[in-house]
Structure 1
Amino acid sequence: MSAPATTAALRVTGLTAGYGPVTALDGVDVAAEPGHITAVLGANGAGKTTLLRTVSGLVPARSGSVHAGDVDLTGAAPEKIARAGIAHVPEGRGVITELTVEENLRLGALLGKARGRADTAIDDVYTMFPPLAERRRRDAHTLSGGERQMLVIGRALACGPDVLLLDEPSLGLAPRVVSQIFELLRERVEGSRLAVLLVEQNARSALSVADVGVVLNLGRVVASAPAAELAADDALRHAYLGF
């Protein structure tokens, strides 16, 4: 299948996927542009996590396509997708607690496109998240919840990705910590080639940092627009976003 003509770092077209007889995604179209954050919003069961898992090859697509730039990754193995520049941070703060902060980051640098420039990639993470630089020699189990979330995001960024898939990064964190992480993410994306696809149940926070919002309901896209437009649409917010 040829790639669509696009400048998108990631383009999902007509994607359908599910689990057994259950269809979790039904013909979903989503794009993530370089230098932009695209927030994918919706209630529990809307298909948000399944979207990320299908893009990263953990759930097979039943139909549709996934392209990273002009590379067709539909049906590819997760390892190939990671090598192609897509890094996935799943829900939960899955650090390797027995390793130090720096060892976790070096592990990330081995898995993606930054293998030949690990030191530079890790220094970039420390610049983005100063608390990690201060704790680089500490075991990961000593970190707070917010610091662990910084570490899992930093480990994904140490891969040198073109596309970052983030699943519920605010889960279980205090609002102040969420705001800090989202602000740092916004700063990292602006003026860069990195595209972020952010799945988030905290729609208000996600729309505050996103450029574009996509709303899913029962596996289908019900709205896709600039984030500011979605935040200002009272009827849509009340119907699908809970605020």
Structure 2
Amino acid sequence: MNSVLDQRHTRGDGVVRDGLWVQGLTTRYGPVTALDDVDLTAPGGRITAVLGANGAGKTTLLRTVSGLLRPQAGRIGLGGTDLTGVNAEDVARAGVAHVPEGRGVITELTVEENLRLGALLGSVRSSVRTPPTIADVYTLFPSLRRRKSQAAHSLSGGERQMLVIGRALLSAPEVLLLDEPSLGLAPQIVSRIFAVLRELVDTEGLAVLLVEQNARSALSIADTGVVLNLGRVVACSDAAELAADDELRHAYLGF
């Protein structure tokens, strides 16, 4: 297995040059340790899939990285910027966009009004990365263009997921955190969303940290896979290598 800290993308001190990094990350809920001394990287231009059973610590990892939870130990950073202990708003301004599980759109607003909210942060960050436009999001997800004047509550589950991802992209992030984007969606919708992610990573250099219960689908588009079990990293390697490891798949990934 490869080192958790990919040497192709790190400096001598283990800090990633062009993406997200965490070192020794420990997060607790009271007496319960949800993350235990976790190291990982999500470099630019790559999809890093975080896999594991329910309760492995995957969602806690994203919530800690995005500033919604404070770690008890360890460091979080984006390139040379230390984000350890930074609040969620400032983490977002630094270039980390978090799409939590549950497709959290503002249902009373129209599709386009939801997208404009994302564009507000993108305009603030435009000196760092040129933000996409709402028209760009419509190109990525054509069904949103057809429904741009509709209230978000009228959208299907797949369209809501496209909308919340599009809104996150409009903030011009360096890193996109995605929590279970395929949950409850039809396979063809999942394929479209994953294809868009792959395109953005390959053409724009976006770093994606993807948490997925569907390990088979995640590994099919990811560059690197990280397996968590009870809050600890038990494997980190090339995605194809993980997918081919029968013993690991059966023990931790369920396929």
Contact 1:4 1:70 in 2 (8 A): no
Residue 93 of structure 1 and its aligned partner are, at CA, apart by 1.0
Instruction: From 220, 235, 242, give the equivalent of 2:232.
Output: 220
Residues of 1 paired with 2:246 and 2:239: CA distance?
Answer: 13
Runs of 4+ in 1 over 2 A off after TM superposition: 3-8, 111-121
Contact 2:131 2:171 in 1 (8 A): no
Residue 120 of structure 1 and its aligned partner are, at CA, apart by 4.2
Residues of 1 paired with 2:45 and 2:123: CA distance?
Answer: 18
- Does 1:31 find its partner at 2:41? yes
Could you tell me which amino acid in structure 2 is paired with residue 90 of structure 1? P
| 3-state DSSP of counterpart to 1:6 | coil
Instruction: From 74, 81, 92, give the equivalent of 1:64.
Output: 74
Partner of 2:178: 166
Partner of 2:140: 128
Residues of 2 paired with 1:214 and 1:183: CA distance?
Answer: 21
Partner of 1:45: 55
Contact 2:122 2:131 in 1 (8 A): no
Partner of 1:210: 222
- Does 1:84 find its partner at 2:100? no
Contact 1:16 1:26 in 2 (8 A): yes
Residue 123 of structure 1 and its aligned partner are, at CA, apart by 2.1
State TM-score, norm by structure 1.
0.94
Residue 125 of structure 1 and its aligned partner are, at CA, apart by 1.4
The two structures, once aligned, show a CA RMSD in angstroms of: 1.7
State TM-score, norm by structure 2.
0.90
Residue 186 of structure 1 and its aligned partner are, at CA, apart by 1.0
- For structure 2, the 5+ residue unaligned runs are 1-12
Instruction: From 186, 190, 202, give the equivalent of 1:178.
Output: 190
- Cα distance change, pair 233–69 in 1 and its aligned pair in 2 (3 A): same
Residue 115 of structure 1 and its aligned partner are, at CA, apart by 5.8
Could you tell me which amino acid in structure 1 is paired with residue 145 of structure 2? A
Residues of 2 paired with 1:120 and 1:211: CA distance?
Answer: 24
Number of matched pairs? 241
Contact 1:114 1:158 in 2 (8 A): no
Could you tell me which amino acid in structure 2 is paired with residue 226 of structure 1? D
- Does 1:138 find its partner at 2:150? yes
- For structure 1, the 5+ residue unaligned runs are none
Could you tell me which amino acid in structure 1 is paired with residue 221 of structure 2? V
Residue 137 of structure 1 and its aligned partner are, at CA, apart by 1.5
